[in-house]
């Protein structure tokens, strides 16, 4: 039994390697020009992704979090450990609202989907509002209020002072650039000009990071194709 | 000449970039990597945790960003287990579980075969609900993660007995590549629960996360470079991982060469642009 299993695992790994390599080459073919191979790989990716997300959500959320709590014996074949738990009938509420959402597919009943959608939007807006206010607004303002003359254990710190000056002046100048109720001239105009420079530097950094990300992904694919070529010529599989 | 270069077929640039990646990979070109403070802070904070501390490590990404994120996940997991910390791995991305399984195979089964699942480490798998899962875990962790990835009830997992709320963790390390990810772990996890939080993100996302450092994020691994820096810190402290923890360090060779090629093209493109501008007849000047 075990040798067969090992053989099957190896065969599956080889198949995975070859399918992955061909799909990678199909996607790369777009760099030359659009073609049916690229289109095929693209559509396959979209379809497989959608199916994967659906299956994952079903087995990791609907089964343990809904059916496993609503009627635990139902999940005994898959999750025997929670099959003996007590039923939690409060889960009927998300079940009903979940069914309401699906009613969008039945035109005469589509209006009830709005109830579920309203709940989702209301919950998301309420939760996000408080957390965004705290983490992205108040905390960010708090952490921008830095001392313009900084000291550390050894006394005056020039490095920290310069850093703090850059952060504070950058934020203030950036805000001035987006302040349109006063004409951008004189000292105000110079601050606005500094603000656009700060923005340009941040855009440049973001672009540099994006280039790095794309090259990293290309390196990953090249490593994969290297594994495939190694297997093709030597029979060795990647570890 | 410069104007001709300005009109270069983009496919030639693609080929040169491909060669800039393939040749260094083929010859095994590796450059030394120094760890910057923003990554060293993460390493130091994990290093300072006493044995038995509880670390939540999340894998909120998928195969599309594996080259950047996977070395981060593996290096942090290896570091935590080397320090005898209890490791809780979870994901709020459906594509996270295969990444976690890969890490378990390469790190836990390979380097720490004696550790017991459920006592020293556990895989909580994927839970749908985006930031709602984090919000739920903040108030009732078992409600957010009622089972582990194998379907074992949370109540029957020994190392989950002490984790009732998110604040029971000593450290959160979120590895992500978008929404929901590191930002949501800061907003809905680390900030309200007061748990020290660190992040590892793709390079594209890194500039968006910098404002959270150092107050809300104690450190940030940005892209492949961030991963390589963490590997460098790990290898420096634990030389026995020199071979097993150097995927990102190896990939930084082609990265550096490709960057040089891109910089060269940016310079050439600008020279070509200014050259063609100079060659244009000026408006208002009679010839």
pLDDT digits (tens, 9 = 90+) for A173-230: 999 999 999 899 999 999 999 999 999 999 999 999 999 999 999 999 999 999 999 9
Tell whether B19 is within 8 A of chain A (Cβ).
Answer: no
Kind plus residue range of the DSSP H or E element containing A173: helix A158-177
Indicate yes or no: CB of B25 within 8 angstroms of CB of A226: yes
Q: How many CB atoms lie within 10 A of CB A151?
A: 11
Indicate yes or no: CB of B251 within 8 angstroms of CB of A131: no
Which of A57-61, A149-153, B55-59 has the highest average model confidence (pLDDT)? B55-59
Q: What is the pLDDT of residues A96-131, one digit of tens each?
A: 999 999 999 999 999 999 999 999 999 889 989 999
Q: Nearest-CA neighbor of B108 among B124, B89, B127, B90?
A: B89
Instruction: Please tell me which of the candidates A81, A135, A215 has its beta carbon nearest to residue B258.
Output: A215
pTM of this structure: 0.91
Chain B neighbors of A141, CB-CB under 8 A: none
CA triple B110-B156-B186, angle to 5 deg = 70
Q: What is the pLDDT of residues B4-56, one digit of tens each?
A: 777 788 899 999 999 999 999 999 999 999 999 999 999 999 999 999 999 99
Map out the domains of chain B as residue ranges.
2-28+251-279, 37-245
Residue of A nearest to B90 (CA): A60
SS3 B194: coil
CATH homologous superfamily of domain B37-245? MTH777-like (3.40.50.10160)
Residue A77 banded pLDDT, cuts 50, 70, 90: confident
Size of the A and B interface in Cβ pairs below 8 Å: 144
Residue A237 banded pLDDT, cuts 50, 70, 90: confident
Tell whether A179 is within 8 A of chain B (Cβ).
Answer: no
Contact between B228 and B252 (Cβ < 8 Å): yes
**Rounded to a whole number, what is the distance in Å from the CA of A130 to chain B's nearest CA?**
10
- What are A61's two structure tokens? 């959320």
Mean pLDDT of B71-86: 98
Angle between the N-to-C axes of helices A186-234 and B10-27, in degrees from 0 to 180, rounded to the nearest 10: 60
- Give the phi and the psi of residue A111 in degrees, each rounded to 5: -65, -30
Residue A49 banded pLDDT, cuts 50, 70, 90: very high
Q: What is the pLDDT of residues B197-237, one digit of tens each?
A: 999 999 999 999 999 999 999 999 999 999 999 999 999 99
Residue of B nearest to A28 (CA): B14
Q: Nearest-CA neighbor of B264 among B20, B28, B9, B22?
A: B20
Chain B neighbors of A56, CB-CB under 8 A: 94, 97, 126, 128
Contact between B11 and B202 (Cβ < 8 Å): no
Chain B neighbors of A69, CB-CB under 8 A: 146
pLDDT more than 70, % of chain B: 98
**Rounded to a whole number, what is the distance in Å from the CA of A47 to chain B's nearest CA?**
14
Instruction: Please tell me which of the candidates A60, A131, A205 has its beta carbon nearest to residue B188.
Output: A131
SS3 A163: helix
* Position B166 pLDDT exceeds 60: yes
Residue of B nearest to A142 (CA): B215
- Mutation target for B interface from A219, A224, A227, A237: give the one with most B CBs within 10 A: A219
Distance of CA A70 to CAs A56, A82, B223, B263, Å?
20, 11, 43, 60
Largest CA distance in chain B: 89
Instruction: Check residue A162 and give its pLDDT.
Output: 96
| Strand locations in chain B (E) | 54-60, 86-91, 121-126, 171-176, 197-201, 220-222
ipTM for this prediction: 0.90
**Rounded to a whole number, what is the distance in Å from the CA of A63 to chain B's nearest CA?**
10
Mean pLDDT of A69-83: 86
Q: What integer best gives the mean pLDDT of chain A? A: 91
Dihedral, CA of residue A88, residue A92, residue A98 and residue A99, to nearest 10: 140
């Amino acid at each position: 039994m075990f040798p067969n299993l090992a053989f099957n695992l190896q065969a599956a790994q080889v198949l995975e390697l070859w399918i992955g390599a061909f799909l990678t080459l199909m996607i790369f073919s777009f760099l030359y020009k659009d073609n049916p191979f690229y289109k095929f790989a693209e559509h396959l990716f979209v379809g497989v992704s959608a199916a994967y997300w659906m299956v994952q959500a079903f087995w990791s959320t609907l089964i343990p979090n809904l059916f496993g709590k609503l009627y635990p014996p139902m999940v005994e074949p898959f999750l025997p450990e929670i099959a003996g738990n007590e039923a939690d009938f409060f889960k009927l509420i998300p079940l009903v609202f979940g069914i309401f959402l699906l009613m969008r597919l039945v035109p005469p009943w589509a209006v009830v989907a709005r109830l579920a959608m309203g709940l989702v939007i209301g919950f998301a807006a309420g939760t996000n509002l408080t957390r965004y206010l705290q983490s992205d607004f108040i905390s960010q303002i708090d952490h921008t209020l830095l001392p313009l003359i900084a000291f550390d254990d050894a006394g005056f710190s020039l490095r920290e002072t310069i850093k703090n000056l850059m952060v504070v002046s950058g934020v203030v100048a950036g805000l001035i650039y987006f302040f349109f109720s006063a004409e951008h001239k004189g000292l105000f105009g110079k601050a606005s000009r500094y603000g656009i420079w700060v923005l340009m530097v941040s855009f440049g950094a973001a672009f540099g990071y994006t280039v790095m990300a794309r090259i990293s992904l290309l390196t990953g694919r090249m490593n994969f194709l290297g594994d495939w070529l190694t297997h093709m010529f030597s029979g060795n599989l990647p570890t | 000449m410069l104007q001709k270069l300005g009109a270069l077929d983009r496919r030639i640039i693609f080929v040169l970039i491909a060669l800039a990646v393939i040749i260094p990979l083929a010859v095994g070109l590796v450059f030394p990597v120094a760890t910057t403070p923003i990554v060293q802070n993460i390493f130091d904070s994990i290093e300072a945790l006493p044995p038995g501390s509880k670390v939540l490590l999340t894998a909120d990404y998928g195969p599309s960003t594996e080259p950047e994120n996977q070395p981060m996940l593996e290096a942090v997991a290896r570091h935590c287990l080397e320090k005898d910390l209890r490791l809780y791995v979870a994901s709020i991305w459906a594509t996270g579980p295969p990444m976690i399984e890969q890490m378990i195979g390469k790190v836990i089964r390979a380097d720490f075969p004696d550790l017991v699942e459920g006592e020293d480490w556990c895989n909580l798998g994927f839970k749908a609900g985006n930031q709602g899962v984090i919000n739920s875990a903040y108030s009732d962790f078992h409600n957010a993660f009622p089972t582990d990835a194998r379907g074992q009830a949370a109540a029957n997992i020994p190392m989950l007995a002490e984790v009732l709320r998110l604040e029971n963790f000593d450290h959160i390390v979120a590895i992500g590549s978008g929404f929901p990810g590191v930002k949501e772990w800061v907003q809905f996890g680390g900030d309200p629960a007061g748990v020290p939080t660190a992040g590892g993100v793709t390079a594209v996302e890194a500039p968006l996360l910098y404002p959270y450092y150092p107050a809300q994020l104690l450190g940030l691994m940005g892209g492949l470079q961030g991963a390589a820096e963490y590997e460098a810190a790990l290898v420096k402290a634990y030389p026995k991982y020199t071979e097993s923890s150097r995927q990102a360090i190896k990939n930084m060779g082609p990265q550096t060469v490709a960057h040089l090629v891109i910089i060269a093209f940016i310079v050439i493109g600008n020279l070509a642009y200014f050259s063609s501008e100079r060659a244009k007849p000026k408006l208002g000047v009679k010839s």
